Structure 1
């Protein structure tokens, strides 16, 4: 009896092991969520919303670091080498990623947001109070609040530096980013496609509600001129018909000359600009310098959520904070 019992036990155990092994072998390739790496916090927030309940994307540029001056860490290279999908704005913003993407993530799917359909893309402003760029083209830019976008791939042959890359600051662009992300994830991970689509739909509804809220909040600021630290807010301005009249510097990692600061101070006084905005990642002394002798107040705008914790809640919080800072400084 004992031999029979032992034999039956072993037979049953082996059968169970074989069944388990067969079931494991039959599992889809994406039994685990795809490994997703995202460049900056606002985009990471939108991607995290699409991936809710499936997986957690890895963020490269953390805390208050800026993509304009970011240096890759060994942990970043390791994350890229393991990535199945990398989501970034493009070389216009994250120039530090161009070579590492080729070297560390050659087989990963690359979602370059500046190349996606459905985006409004605006040229970087220059001339006058908008500091000129170091290229040989004629003056060009965003004039008279022309809100029309254009297809980057179809009809734009300009260099990377000539497109404003802060695309997420227009909620309509955030919608396009969410849709493109859901499509890329569903293609890479068909088993969870329904979850991505459901999450995307929920996120799009939240973005629409946020957009309506911000329009109401910012409506009183339409004709109040202000100066920004660098030309990061054009999409936000265009969406809500705001009146930025110049920037202190063309790029956060490039200090303006004394002549440039003097010209901005004159512009502030001449236009009676109500406020000059700094950014949390960069030295505030420049802003204090340009408002000396003027009636302008100072404030802080944060286009990337430098002081916010990463995650789903970052994007709507960032957008509401921009609106609150503008209203607070412009006196509405």
Structure 2
């Protein structure tokens, strides 16, 4: 199987930048609302919905990771001054929890709470069948039922008390700390069906602060929905031949993508990308690699590859890169489609090598 980063799935999908050319622009006002989006994939979805009106401000720029991120004074001011802030939630952007306490709750949209969102929890065994189901009926002003349209449930973890536990780790001098994820997995954008729910939620939220452009927001969301659905079908067809083949990811960030397309990681190099894996975890992962017959190990561009080298020392595995945040991609409407397409290409190429 031969798939390049810009070929295969990435080349087959519709260009998200075409929304700008094909979208409705006549209703747009000269100056749109002030909108902030935290992460590059979220910013991309928001930017797609806002085309013809304005551009959102991105908080976590470049190759930065939300893990351990701190707001600059200018970014703090942008959040405080925004008409609308879009963030995943406290399980992902811990740095926004306190700043948002001073923002009108109606002007901050926690994407994990949107109708139609499928949420998944972490657990130590990487078991994906432990979701809390929570149904929401959601219709917009013209009677459009988002849940019926997407035919997916909002599976929601009721207790958010431990969201910050993923980040509040302390290491005493001379003491090895073994960190575990718990609660809701915040990498929810890696399921394109969740991205569809986000697009609709963004359009609804923007329509409340900018009703004059509501028709445009919803038209852009509908176009994005169609593009995402078409891309997801292409990805499913591409990944079907490699489903069931073992692999190791850098950290446990991909279960939304895996679950959607029938993939299942044997484990992760590290449970927390900010902390080097312990000797016990390295030994455990080496055993899992051998037992699972894994053929591929994935690194990430934001973190040093030496962690992967340590875990896979002496093993012959295919190597590839997964970029869940779009660290190497230019921000904008096209980023989300490119990100998901690149993930699919990396999985297909690495798992299919030698087949």
Q: Shared fold by TM > 0.5?
A: yes
Structure number with higher helix proportion: 1
Mapped pair 1:279 → 2:262: no
- The structural deviation recorded for 1:327 is 1.5
- The structural deviation recorded for 1:331 is 2.2
- The structural deviation recorded for 1:107 is 6.8
Alignment of 1:62-141 (within 5 A): 62-103=61-102, 105-106=103-104, 109-127=107-125, 141=127
- CA displacement, residues 131-154 of structure 1 (integer Å, 9 cap, x when unaligned): xxxxxxxxxx424xx7x6623786
Question: Is the Cα–Cα contact under 8 Å of residues 243 and 262 in structure 2 kept in the other structure?
Answer: yes
- CA displacement, residues 103-140 of structure 1 (integer Å, 9 cap, x when unaligned): 4x34760100011110111111314xx5xxxxxxxxxx
Structure 1 counterpart of 2:312: 291
Q: Would you say how many aligned residue pairs link Structure 1 and Structure 2? A: 287
Counterpart CA distance in 1 for 2:269 and 2:104 is: 38
Counterpart CA distance in 1 for 2:321 and 2:283 is: 21
Counterpart CA distance in 2 for 1:295 and 1:162 is: 34
- Ranges in structure 1 where 5+ consecutive residues have no aligned partner: 1-29, 131-140
- The structural deviation recorded for 1:80 is 1.1
Which contiguous aligned blocks of 4+ residues in structure 1 show a shift greater than 3 angstroms? Answer: 105-108, 152-155
| 3-state SS, counterpart of residue 224 of structure 1 | coil
Q: CA RMSD of the aligned region, Å? A: 1.8
Mapped pair 1:264 → 2:294: no
Structure 2 counterpart of 1:8: none
Greater gyration radius: 1
Counterpart CA distance in 2 for 1:154 and 1:312 is: 28
Structure 1 counterpart of 2:271: 250
- CA displacement, residues 280-319 of structure 1 (integer Å, 9 cap, x when unaligned): 1011001011111222222110101001000000000000
Question: Is the Cα–Cα contact under 8 Å of residues 38 and 88 in structure 1 kept in the other structure?
Answer: yes
Question: Is the Cα–Cα contact under 8 Å of residues 120 and 149 in structure 1 kept in the other structure?
Answer: no
Quick one: which of 203, 206, 213 aligns to 1:185?
A: 206
Question: Is the Cα–Cα contact under 8 Å of residues 116 and 180 in structure 1 kept in the other structure?
Answer: yes
The TM-score with structure 2 as length reference comes to: 0.77
- The structural deviation recorded for 1:41 is 0.3
Question: Higher relative contact order by CA 8 Å / sep ≥ 6: 1 or 2?
Answer: 2
Question: Is the Cα–Cα contact under 8 Å of residues 272 and 296 in structure 1 kept in the other structure?
Answer: no
Counterpart CA distance in 2 for 1:241 and 1:153 is: 19
| 3-state SS, counterpart of residue 65 of structure 2 | coil
Structure 1 counterpart of 2:240: 219
Structure 1 counterpart of 2:40: 41
- Ranges in structure 2 where 5+ consecutive residues have no aligned partner: 1-28, 135-153, 164-181
